Amino acid sequence: MRQGEPGEGEGYSGRAGRRRVIVASVVSCVAIAVAVTHVLAPSLKIDNVTVALLVVAVVPWLRDLLNSIELPGGVRLEFKEAVERRIEAAERIADAALVGSGDDGPEADGATALTDVRRLAAEYREVRTSMSSGSARTQRMNGIFARLVRATQRLADPELNGWLGSPDGGLRLAAYARLYAVPDSDALVALTDAVVKEPLAFSQYWGLHALDKVVDAVGVEDVPPGVVRRLEDCRPRGSDRVALLRRLIAKLHGLSPRP
């Protein structure tokens, strides 16, 4: 064993803790200095450009203290680490549904599984319309997606093309769940079309996850150029979906995702 390995994680945690204290102290001192300056020189005018430059200077130091910053006008900045942690947490929920699923074979209870899928699709629609947007609703919908991952694995031959093109957002989510669990290279083009056009943010998020897995099944070198162009032209809103799309496009080009 290499010297220094025992307690290595604890040492890192200690250093990170000290760094947070230092950053917090520096930010507090800067804030106090600005307040004192304002008291001593109330006539001193600070224009918007100066404020913007101060924000740019301070933001990198706040990443150890905050996950996001909301600026005037409703503009919200999220640090890359916070987005990645949220994506990884959602993936763990869905991946847990892959463990031990389908042990009896996909045809063991196909009719029951299809009933379950339709029930979960309806539950998804109901949650979307009855709950206000926020973390509680997202958590509920992530749970529904995980159950769809498990249920769709029990189907021998689901109607993926019909689901992907359905006006029913619940059935489209079921298709994404199935392709997340059982990537099908033949579904690449139809899945890309559905994800690019997907109007529901949550569904598009999991559609991008499913697309990433289908791309792996196809092989990056065999993805048609038309699919790559459609993804490059896609402009999702929301930091999580933007991060997923960038990661996928970087994979298709054999690059590391941009920060």
pLDDT on residue 61 = 54
Q: How far apart are CA 225 and CA 213, in angstroms?
A: 18
Chain segment 148-186, per-residue pLDDT in tens: 999 999 998 899 999 999 999 999 999 999 999 999 999
Our measurement of the distance from residue 22's CA atom to the centroid of its chain's CA atoms, rounded to an integer in Å, reads 31
Q: Is pLDDT at 202 greater than 90 in this prediction?
A: yes
pLDDT on residue 97 = 77
Q: What are the backbone angles phi and psi of residue 257, rounded to the nearest 5°?
A: -60, 145
Chain segment 34-52, per-residue pLDDT in tens: 656 656 666 666 666 566 5
Of 38-42, 54-58, 116-120, 156-160, highest mean pLDDT: 116-120
Place of tokens 């604890």: 10
Share of the chain above pLDDT 90, in %: 50
Q: What is the rounded average pLDDT for all residues in the chain?
A: 78
pLDDT on residue 259 = 47
DSSP element (H, E) containing 70 = strand 68-70
Look at 150 and 93; give whichever has higher pLDDT.
150
pTM, 2 dp: 0.67
Domain range list for the chain = 8-65, 81-252
Of 33-42, 58-67, 226-235, 246-255, highest mean pLDDT: 226-235
Q: Is pLDDT at 225 greater than 90 in this prediction?
A: yes
Q: What are the backbone angles phi and psi of residue 50, rounded to the nearest 5°?
A: -65, -45
pLDDT on residue 95 = 77
Q: Which two tokens stand for residue 146?
A: 């995980």
Q: Which two tokens stand for residue 145?
A: 């997606």
